[in-house]
Amino acid sequence: SNNLIINNSNNGIYFSSSSNNHLSSNIIKNNNVNGMYLSGSNNRLLNNTLSNSMWGIYSSPSSNSNISSNIFINNSRYGIYRSAGNYNILWNNNFTNNNVSAFETSNSKNNSWNLSNIGNYWSDFINNSGYPNNYTIPGPGNGIDWHPLNVQEVQNPVIYVHGYCGEPEDNT
């Protein structure tokens, strides 16, 4: 937790067949290939910022993991690319200005892109085939965010300002 992982020639973080990990509150940016490569099960990724890499997260295979409250921003290929894996929950994430926000291959099915009525924020939502009702995850997988968020609806937002990632201050 609370690491700054930058400027690696390949992956910022590499989990291969790794399970039961909790990764939170990290800034992972400017890595030449993947911000994170994720393979394994029962992992929890919470409150991380993944930016300015080719892929924010490349996931293959990964199952039964919880990916929530993360920021995927300015990744040149994909915010998250799911090559294989099932029964993951991806919710309350912010996908902003990625070439492609998210992608699922035919080997990546039965993932939940929202938890109850909390989905994800997609900066490209207006251009998505599911607009205005849902966000259809591109690719031959079957992913749909049934409750995409507007910026104003993001739950417990994390602010990204000039490389800093943190909670907004309570000015009451």
Report the C-alpha gap between 131 and 74 in whole angstroms. 22
Which residues touch 129 (CB under 8 Å, ≥6 apart)?
136
Report the C-alpha gap between 5 and 2 in whole angstroms. 10
Judge residue 38's burial from the number of C-beta atoms within 10 Å of its C-beta, 0-12 exposed, 13-18 middle, 19 or more buried: buried
Token pair, residue 119, equals: 């989905």
pLDDT, one tens digit for every residue, the chain (172 residues): 899 999 999 999 999 999 999 999 999 999 999 999 999 999 999 999 999 999 999 999 999 999 999 999 999 999 999 999 899 999 999 999 999 999 999 999 899 999 999 999 999 999 999 999 999 999 999 999 999 998 645 455 444 444 444 444 444 4
Prediction pTM value: 0.87
